[in-house]
Structure 1
């Protein structure tokens, strides 16, 4: 694999200046899960060297830059039980520009040290994807669903999939709420279907994100596409992926549980977003 590439200095500076912690999300989770007690939240951070109390308050209450290291950003995400990417306040246009300008081996840590946690997630890789170590502080493993495009069954069409995010239920058994927010990473690789089991022919290539938050569904495709839709209360949704000329295996991964199933165009009318061709 080639050495990590870098964005232009101008783009690196723009990204570095625009990236912030999402105080709105941090405050909302602290209010919901820690009864608004920022000190209790700070004590829940699993770090060998606990951040100073004032640092925790800055993370929670003031506009400021990112934590100084990937370990701190990850610990913050784990304490909040939120995917670390969702803690980033960013300009989607700048992120997409960085993805288009640099190769798949973009070193995100060169933009900001804390972003090094994205290197294995958003890189072209022959290794296990997504990186297992990022899930250790959550449920210990990623929740992944794979699906295969077999061109012998059809080519050049959009296939729909239904997603059920993690749901929480009351003791009586009735639905209370869907996880909010929740994020999914998507990647694919070329395969051969000549054998009984799919045989990989290329590296994993991440191509986009989907996330749900505040009853809104959003899609970000690294080739430059964006899409969005309003959600129903149960946050169930559908997304579409283009199935092209060759066989491919796709993987959808989240740090939190979900269910995935292939659906037809005649399926129930769900909020829906669409990926273009995965370049």
Structure 2
């Protein structure tokens, strides 16, 4: 499981979704939670004005932590009479009688959180209610990805403000596929051309900085990189590296040949 880089100051959109689900399912509460360190943090909470401190619980102390770890939907009709969950701290703290939850995952299937509906009393959850929650979770996953990308680009903005060399290089590279990464090989910026022109998914995009940093660590300024992910064609790319400032490396990407299918 992976921790999520996210701007937790912007949660109104997820609160609105949680409120909508709680109303639709006529349940006590709905939560949209993501992994943050060892805790699950509620991006979305159906109770209006819920303070920040009440949005965070250790993942191990929640049923959603179990849903996230297994990566599978979970229906619990009577939580307090279920030996698996009756002693979980969140059950008492949140007065949970019944639980319906689905995992939230990245594009590569890695769980990053969970979305749940909670009832105060035992309740039999129908197949249609589960299907509805899964459909909303799909929407939530796409929103989380967009928010995470915006957060990464905001993080880069602070660095760019003090880095005229990168700004100049980015201006000169207009229309080219560009990433910027740090010395740990972590992505801090990717422009629109990278995904649009090279047909990369978000998870494939995250592989590029690590590959570029391996080349840079070996003293190379350019080289070939092959991106292979299960169920996707491989991408054979060429990268040119620039290091306008210590700690940040700019990489310009292009195709070396037409992608071919993996066996």
TM-score, normalized by the shorter chain, greater than 0.5:
no
**TM class, shorter-chain normalised?**
under 0.3
Higher relative contact order (CA 8 A, sep 6+): 1
Greater Rg over alpha carbons, structure: 2
TM-score by length of 1: 0.26
- Structure ranking higher in helix proportion: 2
With normalisation by structure 2, the TM-score equals 0.27
